[in-house]
Chain A
């Protein structure tokens, strides 16, 4: 019995060791990113270190001489906030409309959005670009913002969510009191849906913050570019790529805000992913 216990404890320690090693593996690249952002290009090329250096200000100077990172940050923030608000509000409204009203076409809309969730994005990408081009909206933010009014996956999730948390009887009292349907949505339905909306909103924010391909295709003016596009264009900026400290700093500026947000919202983010895995 005792030998068995010793064996069990040692296996358990080994398992923890494995988990910790894997965590280190997940975190080290980010740690190196942060550390190297504070070291000079020469230091990075000649030595390896896990402790921060003293060249953060100098790296920042090199970066800000060559690209307007603050502007990129604000661009990304603006786009992410717009997308999150639009996707959350209109998806909630649509989900409520689909779940609690009976009208012809409701089934068609629901089926269409389910089917569309399975259509890979490259099928719409070329047509979308062509449409934006013909509307004369290349190099504007409209095509990066307006499409989030229609977020099929979010509508689907919120429809399932509201059906499971809100009985229809809740709507009867305010209706008898003569509240308008839109007021009922704003004052009663939205608060009830809030946890579900929060889960989807965080996903929408991160998705927008990280999106690369579409903004890269549509935005030409450097000052209008969001962060990921700026990061990807880095290799073209010689003064920065020749200084690795500055390179790491640019990457860090794009990644650290999301890492901080994750510290606060990890619960919601993870419940969002788990929800996505539950079929039907």
Chain B
């Protein structure tokens, strides 16, 4: 009798006290491979980078503790400052084009009156440049933008838009930085567009219907309804783009033929860190630079998150 009752209780509550404890050990077991790999390959390297930032260290051999010397040097380093400003310039060009284009497309595809079709095809085409390896994109554009033999100058000359070839990647001033910004926007606007579309789909359709019924014009609907509701997701896109953008490396590194030329204008912050660590063998200093850059990114993100939360309340 007593035995039978116990069995019924177990059936009704399979997560009984004893069973729960024993079974939950499997949870630990299932997470174990992840936790080990996470500690070894993710957590430890960050701590090691942090530790190295207080050392004079070549990447091999002797390690000498130098306290905050690396950080003091990082803050005063004019080359790092220039590299950071270059990064900001390229990111600025990039984000304005990328987000502007994505927003324009979002508005076009959400217009109640025109009801544009073919979203999935256009979306796929716009996303295509995202998928191709940055190295391939960089090499492709480097070849297409070649001053003498590049197809882009050939097209522009044949169409009569320019009379002499443009020095896209080797010219003076900001031309090369503009090219990086534009190529970056070309690569990533499809991604921003998809994220903004996902954001719009989260907006209740009845807002738009009510606005139309009330006789709101297109501009009014856009500025009074779409934009305010899209703001959190736009900030999210901008923040992720900022985190990615301040770490800009592959594209300028490869477009400039790994040298950061012309006139160091394509030399970015992460490029500088990379150069210090692996070409100049100043691992400790590079680690300090990485943390300075991280702090700058964290401050930017903190501001952006604050703005986001304000909006959501």
Name A residues whose Cβ lies closer than 8 Å to a Cβ of B: 8, 11-12, 15-16, 18-19, 22-23, 25-27, 29-30, 32-33, 36, 44-45, 47-48, 90-91, 93-94, 96-98, 100-103, 105-106, 109, 112-113, 116, 118-131, 133, 143, 146-147, 149-150, 152, 155, 172, 175-176, 181-182, 185, 206, 209-210, 212-213, 217, 227-229, 231-232, 234-235, 244, 247-248, 250-251, 254-255, 258-259, 262, 266-267, 269-270, 273-274, 276-279
Contact = CB atoms under 8 A, between A and B. Distances in A.
A150 B133 contact: no
B293 interface: yes
B213 interface: no
Nearest to B31: A97
A150 B34 contact: yes
A276 B227 CA distance: 21
Interface residues of B, number: 102
B228 interface: no
Contacts of A231: 133, 135-136, 139
Interface stretch (B42-50, B82-90, B92-100): B42-50
B114 A15 contact: yes
Interface string B1-42: 000000000010010000010011111111101111110111
B168 interface: no
Most A CB contacts (10 A, CB to CB) among B27, B46, B294 go to B27
Nearest to B45: A127
A130 B283 contact: yes
B124 A12 contact: no
B45 A128 contact: yes
Q: B133, B232, B274 — which one has the most chain A CB atoms within 10 A of its CB? A: B133
Nearest to B243: A120
Given A130-B52, A131-B44, A277-B198, A33 B140 contact: yes
Contacts of B37: 90, 146-147, 149-150
Nearest to B133: A210
Contact of A150 (B28, B42, B48): B42
A100 to B, nearest CB: 7
A96 B32 CA distance: 12
Contacts of A23: 122, 125-126
A244 B143 contact: yes
A103 B135 contact: no
Contact of A146 (B41, B44, B249, B294): B41
B198 A206 contact: no
B27 A98 contact: yes
9 contacts: A26-B125, A100-B27, A123-B290, A123-B294, A127-B46, A147-B37, A231-B135, A247-B143, A270-B123
Contacts of A129: 59, 277-278
Given A27-B128, A251-B136, A254-B136, A97 B291 contact: no
B211 interface: no
A176 B11 contact: yes
Given A48-B151, A90-B34, A231-B133, 6 more contacts: A26-B126, A210-B131, A228-B133, A247-B139, A255-B133, A277-B194
A265 to B, nearest CB: 10
Given A147-B41, A262-B131, A45 B283 contact: no
Nearest to B276: A126
A277 B201 CA distance: 12
Contact of A274 (B51, B149, B197, B301): B197
A274 B192 CA distance: 10
A224 to B, nearest CB: 17
A47 to B, nearest CB: 8
Given A23-B126, A97-B27, A131 B250 contact: no
Q: Is the interface of B mostly helix, strand, loop or mixed?
A: helix
Contact of A112 (B43, B118, B198): B43
A146 B140 CA distance: 31
Interface in B260-291: 270, 273-274, 277-278, 283, 286-287, 290-291
A272 to B, nearest CB: 10
A125 B59 CA distance: 13
**Residue of B45, B158, B247 with highest tally of chain A CB at under 10 A:** B45
A128 B27 contact: no
A270 B127 contact: yes
B195 interface: yes
Contact of B38 (A27, A150, A277): A150
Contacts of A101: 23-24, 26-28, 30
Nearest to A20: B122
B192 to A, nearest CB: 9
Residue in A26, A206, A235 whose Cβ sees the most chain B Cβ within 10 Å: A26
B166 interface: no
B131 to A, nearest CB: 5
A235 B135 CA distance: 12
A114 B168 CA distance: 41
Contacts of B122: 19, 22-23
A248 B42 contact: no
B141 interface: yes
Contacts of B116: 12, 15-16, 19
Given A33-B140, A48-B154, A133-B60, A232 B254 contact: yes
Nearest to B138: A232
B208 to A, nearest CB: 18
